[in-house]
Amino acid sequence: MSVRLLFRALFFALVVPGLALAQRPADAALFPRPPELKEAVEFWKRVFAAYGTDQGVVHDSEDLTVVYGVESLGSRAESGRDRERQRAQQSILSRYRRTLERFANSQVDTARLFGDDLRVWTALGKTTDPRRYRRALESLRLQVGQRDRFKRGLVASEPYLESVRGILRSHGVSDSLAVLPFIESAFNVRASSRAGAVGL
């Protein structure tokens, strides 16, 4: 399952209760919360509630229980900072890639670890198996925190949320879907994506 699809699936387990929407039996059947997703749900809760857009969570995209660290990305307040933040993200990922490559390609003295080396070694269960580090290289990812964006979305959703719920109910669709724009646009009516999607 792609990170994006997993993100959407987890969103309903995370955001719907957070918005104090009552989960009726029909909603529980449509959006079940399997125990196997518990750890992944906890990861996304932290992304939405603990970390702001000035922070990046460096993690394994296949196993969301593996978090290497939380890094500062700097503020977006100043114009023209997006490109700088993208460079910062790439720099952070490059650091962690180098660490994973060291563990994958040579015996590392685990008695003398510190910084990124210690975080990576600990996050991957203190293993010395180079195959584990090679696999981790393929699934290294940085997720930008969403706390402040989500808060703005809560405010921006006020004029629309009840209308959207009513429209969904009138078509026999679960009104829990009304919170989907929190992922896509945070209820920003001027939102546009690289893929060409626009609006809520």
Q: What digits encode the pLDDT tens for the residues 41-73?
A: 899 999 999 999 999 999 999 999 999 999 999
- 134-189: per-residue pLDDT in tens? 999 999 999 999 999 999 999 999 999 999 999 999 999 988 889 888 888 888 88
Give the pLDDT band of residue 20 (cuts 50, 70, 90): very low
Residue 189 is predicted with a pLDDT of 86
Angle at 4 between CA 137 and CA 16, to 5 degrees: 130
Q: In what order do the strands lie in the sheet with 67-72?
A: 67-72, 55-60, 140-144
